[in-house]
Structure 1
Amino acid sequence: MDIPPGCSTVSKTTTVCRLQKALYGLKQSPRAWFGRFTLAMKKYGFQQSNADHTLFLKHRHGKVTALIIYVDDMIITGNDEEEISKLQNQLAAEFEMKSLGNLKYFLGIEVARSAQGIVLSQRKYVLDLLAEVGLLDCKPADTPIMLNHKLGEYPYQKPTDKERYQRLVGKLIYLSHTRPDIAYSVSVVSRFMHSPSNRHMEAVMRILRYLKGSPGKGLLFSKNGHLNIDGYTDADWAGDATNRKSTSGYFTFVGGNLVTWRSKRQKVVALSSAEAEFRGMAKGMCELLWLKRLMADIGFSPRFEMNLFCDNKAAIDISHNPVQHDRTKHVEVDRHFIKQNLEEKIIRLPFVRSEDQLADILTKAVPTKDFYNSLGKLGMHDIYAPT
């Protein structure tokens, strides 16, 4: 502890601080811990990534060592075995920590390895959640949300237990880190945290019943022989029945493996489908540019243009045409941003058919057949499913 500023009259050599409150729980404690840890990593020769401040990298003799930290849990990986062993010894000498061996379980995420690749899932997390709600023996649902649902805030709706609703939705939000199949449905139910109704709770229970059918489903990361960065972006124009706002979503792939996704309702009402697609396209492009910076920090900068697949020909044509258009005057900044990246040959906008648009499941509820076709293309597998 350091003597606080202003205590100049107190002898700093013989005075100690009497804590009135524990360090844990203070707003400053995470910042102080992370600052202390960052100084230690820089002392070891690691550099903090500008794309992700929790990622530390060290390049040596053509090899790379990476450490990523969440509070006081960390993962160390890379192809420099000597540097990894050295870093573990340095951290153990300076902090109270120990190595738990090969990564198997991290923050509720299970890691399984095989000849096909690495699978991330949250099976135990799902089963614990179902046991808490009492749905371990329920009948599974085919999809996480009903087709043509009209969820919204209506007068005279029957309220439900607000604390229970918020707790369940919060757990589902964390679960969506490895389950892109529930991303859209979770984004819908999370809109009503402040005043949930019985219908909203029924929608949450349907998500849980869907999870009962495949609790061990997760993402497969396999070696495909390339590190190309691709994305799929889509938007559902005026899909919200309450305020007519659009919902946009994107999937991004690195080396043919799904790495990030997002489903989010847009902040303003779009006046045309082209405008809604433009806003979604700009968000997907920002994600691709962030992935490009992150890959460059690691040492694997993409050698080719990144593809952002879109199923709206009007939005693609307007992106290549700098002429002002009535449908784009409300998204002029997004249009110039997209046009600049096209001219610099950083990104391409190939057209994809609507039936092949993977991001469709992030913008609206789709039929069961289309839903499972998209999941198969996303690389989702259930290693616990009976053969």
Structure 2
Amino acid sequence: MVLSSSTNPVPTVPLAPMPPTPNVQPHHRLPHDRHKYHSNGSLAQHKAHWVVRDFSQQASVDYDKSLYGLKQAPGAWNQRFTSYISSMGFTVSKSDASLFVYKDRDRVAYLLLYVDDIILMASSRELVQLITARLHSEFTMTDLGDLHHFLGISMMRDSSWLFLSQHQYAVDLLQRAGMSECHLTATPVDARNKLSATTGAPLADPSEYRSLAGALQFLTLTRPALAYAVQQVCLFMHDRRKPHLTLIKCILRYIKGSLSAGLHQGTGPIGQLNAYSNADWVACPDTRRSTSGFCVFLSDNLVSWFSKRQTTVSCSSAKAEYRAVAHVVAECYWLRQLLQELHVSVPLGTIVYCDNVSAVYMTTNPVHHRRTKHIEIDIHFIHEKVALGQVRVLHVPSAHQFTDIMTNGLPIQLFSDFRTSLCIRDPSATTAGGY
């Protein structure tokens, strides 16, 4: 269920005469992008903030420092909420500061807090009602019912699946970009070209580029197949040029043709953590750095994905691939810690699939030589996990390495096949029976 909370109702403040020697702070009205929605997806309430440039204020002159010792209310609200929820028996997650976990014998509850919005899940309806009543007794809250929309993401579900979609967000983004009636494309990025930071003329108005690139980043929450293309767009935020804007428009044309697509999650017993890692060696034409990518599955469900340019240049493809393996092993370690805090057992070790034979060999070979001296920290980290039986790194043929979608532009047919492997579906496919 979803709750919207605040510490106190906010009354209308009457205007008052200005004092003789005021210290006037610049301010403006800022529309808020986090609207409130009804369970059917219709708009319930617009949100806006009156924003003051608080960095120019002085303690005891422009604000009362005695209010929690803070200039800004969100920090004080978070402290108060955390203190109260802890008194109810919840513990704060070490893996995610916005997650609170309750465990009392066979009764389990999870609470996610985002500013003043709450998602509450529990092992029984009675426990949900009990926790909600306790929260209502302390805070002014609105019960929005079962979870259907949250932060621009819509949820459809039944007893065997959950479908996450950002359909309306994508429609609004196309309207904002003036591309609601654009032509369609089958892939979000050209498989033949690599963008350079120096090619093409600079954009006269870079603000549109920054706005669209930021909006596309949010869309990757339910669109893993966009991760590589959006990562490429964000590399050039500092020096935006016409070919970079062309890529953004290509992504938007792909989105126009796949508006209904979303992330499918099935239900069932918790199985093994499986991961796929890949690297595109010296992919950047300007820095010669490689691009890393990974996908992590819990049972058959995609739970984490990643596409990013590596921070240093790799002297060989094996080193680039090994760095990618180190990234995904670290992610799996964090996921295991999170699952442990959620009281979810994953008894089997993690299997990481990599299509580079040399990188697979280095994970089990304890001998350090000239090929590995530049990645020694990664070598030690992975060897420790392998020795403890927590991780196994196995070879996978390149034809089945669908993490290529996180590191390269792909031909249409290959992109379509790999996209399906990432649990991306249309609602009709989900309601018809999933996979």
Same-fold call, TM cutoff 0.5: yes
Aligned counterpart in structure 1 of residue 145 of structure 2, from 84, 97, 101: 101
- Deviation string 1:55-88 (CA, Å, 9 cap, x unpaired) is 1011122231000111111110121322211111
Following the alignment from structure 2 to structure 1, what is the Cα–Cα distance between the partners of residues 83 and 323?
Answer: 39
- Deviation string 1:25-78 (CA, Å, 9 cap, x unpaired) is x87433222111110110111011111111101112223100011111111012
How big is the shift at 1:156?
6.3
Following the alignment from structure 1 to structure 2, what is the Cα–Cα distance between the partners of residues 373 and 285?
Answer: 25
TM-score with structure 2 setting the length:
0.81
What is the identity, as a one-letter code, of the residue corresponding to 1:242?
D
How many correspondences in the alignment? 369
Instruction: Report if the CA contact (8 A) 1:247-1:363 is conserved.
Output: yes
Change (3 A) 1:36 1:127: same
Gaps (5+ residues) in structure 2?
1-59
Matched, 1:336 2:380: yes
* Secondary structure at 2:142 match in 1: coil
Aligned counterpart in structure 2 of residue 354 of structure 1, from 379, 395, 398: 398
How big is the shift at 1:20?
4.2
Matched, 1:173 2:217: yes
How big is the shift at 1:260?
1.0
Name the residue aligned to 2:254.
210
Following the alignment from structure 2 to structure 1, what is the Cα–Cα distance between the partners of residues 356 and 230?
Answer: 26
What is the identity, as a one-letter code, of the residue corresponding to 1:278?
Y
How big is the shift at 1:194?
1.4
Aligned counterpart in structure 2 of residue 83 of structure 1, from 124, 127, 131: 127
How big is the shift at 1:115?
4.9
- Deviation string 1:149-185 (CA, Å, 9 cap, x unpaired) is 2211116633242111000000000111111010000
Following the alignment from structure 2 to structure 1, what is the Cα–Cα distance between the partners of residues 61 and 291?
Answer: 53
Q: Which has the higher strand share?
A: 2
Matched, 1:58 2:102: yes
Instruction: Report if the CA contact (8 A) 2:202-2:239 is conserved.
Output: no
Name the residue aligned to 2:90.
46
Name the residue aligned to 2:112.
68
Following the alignment from structure 1 to structure 2, what is the Cα–Cα distance between the partners of residues 331 and 118?
Answer: 40
Instruction: Report if the CA contact (8 A) 2:159-2:267 is conserved.
Output: no
Aligned counterpart in structure 1 of residue 177 of structure 2, from 126, 133, 138: 133
Structure 1 vs Structure 2 CA RMSD: 2.0
Matched, 1:326 2:386: no
Name the residue aligned to 1:11.
none
Change (3 A) 1:115 1:94: closer
Name the residue aligned to 2:189.
145
Change (3 A) 1:276 1:117: same
Following the alignment from structure 1 to structure 2, what is the Cα–Cα distance between the partners of residues 185 and 379?
Answer: 18
Following the alignment from structure 1 to structure 2, what is the Cα–Cα distance between the partners of residues 30 and 169?
Answer: 27
* Secondary structure at 1:34 match in 2: helix
Instruction: Report if the CA contact (8 A) 1:160-1:196 is conserved.
Output: no
What is the identity, as a one-letter code, of the residue corresponding to 2:275?
G
Following the alignment from structure 2 to structure 1, what is the Cα–Cα distance between the partners of residues 203 and 140?
Answer: 48
Gaps (5+ residues) in structure 1?
1-16
What is the identity, as a one-letter code, of the residue corresponding to 2:182?
C
TM-score with structure 1 setting the length:
0.91
What is the identity, as a one-letter code, of the residue corresponding to 1:211?
I
Q: How does 1:234-273 map to 2 (within 5 A)?
A: 234-273=278-317
Name the residue aligned to 2:416.
372
Change (3 A) 1:27 1:247: farther
- Deviation string 1:207-242 (CA, Å, 9 cap, x unpaired) is 000000011211111124333211111011101111
Instruction: Report if the CA contact (8 A) 1:231-1:251 is conserved.
Output: yes
Change (3 A) 1:306 1:193: same
Q: How does 1:151-170 map to 2 (within 5 A)?
A: 151-154=195-198, 157-170=201-214
Instruction: Report if the CA contact (8 A) 2:160-2:268 is conserved.
Output: no
Name the residue aligned to 1:225.
269
Name the residue aligned to 1:195.
239
